[in-house]
């Protein structure tokens, strides 16, 4: 008797995550030939992973964690994303790719490292997330119980600006002058401002395009769920610096946690405003 085995969405997603990690590593190897800069000799003390030769393993583990986390979240919210005007993978992973790009680029305004090298490296880091969205969209289908998601309405386009305003405001009112996170706030003010606005718009774009798919009964629930997703991913992006250089882990955690609070505040206030403005049934 022959029994047909069906692969679960999570098994297929795990294979796709592995492929995207391999592509990420390959792109870094390929693009490293296009600039004359050694990340392991960047003027900062080397991390313990670099010194003992385990950085490649630590980096792959970090990539697996980051890609796997986002893939799992995407599979949970995808049924609702499928009701939006853009393909689900684009709604979710285009903003993520931008966040990844600007997460890498921040180093050029903090330490600073060469801008050209960071742009190329940022592209190498961002492209695999676009690939992840395309592959999950194409080859992974929701399980029967998750095919029909709740009806959702995409947030207005200006929600991106609203969330970005809270992010930029939080950075300039609290993170830079009060928490004193490592930044180019004083030494490179123009570049830091441009980067902060661009990063804020990227996280705002995630809420605009994908935030509506996160189920929530109240504005607070929506804020916590969307901000937690972005915050955990953003913290992993920040902590990747510690795999390369012996930088302050406390600073990385503080900046990641503070950014998450700003996002939660922006999303909460936005959702409360949108719900109040809806006509009563």
pLDDT (mean) for 82-99: 84
48 belongs to a structural domain: yes
Q: How many helices (H) and strands (E) does the chain have?
A: 11, 0
Local confidence band at 150 (pLDDT 50, 70, 90 cut-offs): low
- Residues contacting 105, CB < 8 A, separation 6+: 115, 118, 119, 122, 195
Higher-scoring residue by pLDDT: 111, 230: 230
Find residue 46's DSSP bridge partners: 245
pTM: 0.90
Ramachandran angles phi, psi of 62, nearest 5°: -65, -45
34 belongs to a structural domain: yes
184 falls in which pLDDT band (50, 70, 90)? confident
Q: Is residue 20 part of a domain?
A: yes
46 three-class SS: strand
Total number of domains constituting the chain? 1
Q: Is residue 154 part of a domain?
A: yes
The answer to the question of residue 216 being in a domain is yes
Domain that holds residue 202: 9-276
> Considering the domain boundaries, does residue 106 fall inside one?
yes
In angstroms, the CA 238 to CA 255 distance is: 8
Q: Quick one: how far is CA 106 from the chain centroid?
A: 14
101: tokens are: 């790009």
Does position 6 have pLDDT exceeding 50, yes or no? no
Q: Is residue 3 part of a domain?
A: no
Is the residue at 281 inside a domain?
no
Please write the tens of the pLDDT for every residue from 207-259.
999 998 898 889 999 999 999 999 999 999 999 999 998 888 999 999 999 99
C-alpha closest to that of 22 among 162, 128, 178: 128
Give the helix/strand (H/E) hosting 158.
Answer: none
């Amino acid at each position: 008797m022959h029994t047909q085995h069906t692969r679960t969405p999570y098994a297929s997603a795990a294979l796709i995550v592995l492929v995207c990690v391999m592509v990420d590593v390959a792109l870094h190897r390929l693009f490293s030939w296009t600039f004359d800069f050694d990340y392991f000799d960047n003027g900062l003390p080397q991390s313990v992973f670099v010194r003992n030769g385990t950085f490649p393993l630590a980096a792959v583990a970090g990539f697996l964690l980051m890609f796997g986390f986002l893939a799992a979240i995407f599979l949970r919210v995808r049924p609702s994303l499928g009701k939006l005007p853009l393909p689900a993978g684009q709604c979710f992973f285009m903003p993520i790719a931008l966040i990844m790009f600007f997460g890498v680029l921040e180093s050029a305004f903090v330490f600073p490292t060469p801008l050209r090298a960071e742009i190329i490296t940022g592209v190498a880091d961002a492209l695999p997330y676009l690939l992840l969205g395309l592959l999950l969209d194409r080859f992974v289908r929701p399980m029967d119980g998750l095919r029909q998601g709740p009806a959702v309405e995409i947030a207005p386009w200006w929600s991106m600006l609203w969330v970005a305003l809270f992010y930029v405001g939080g950075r300039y009112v609290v993170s830079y002058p009060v928490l004193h996170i490592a930044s180019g706030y004083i030494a490179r003010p123009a570049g830091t401002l441009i980067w902060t606005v661009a990063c804020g718009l990227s996280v705002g774009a995630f809420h605009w395009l994908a935030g509506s798919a996160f189920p929530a009964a109240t504005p607070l629930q929506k804020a916590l769920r969307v901000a937690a997703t972005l915050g955990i991913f953003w913290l992993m992006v920040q902590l990747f610096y510690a795999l390369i250089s012996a930088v302050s882990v406390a600073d990385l955690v503080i900046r990641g946690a503070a950014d998450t609070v700003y996002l939660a505040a922006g999303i909460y206030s936005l959702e409360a405003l949108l719900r109040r403005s809806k006509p009563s049934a």
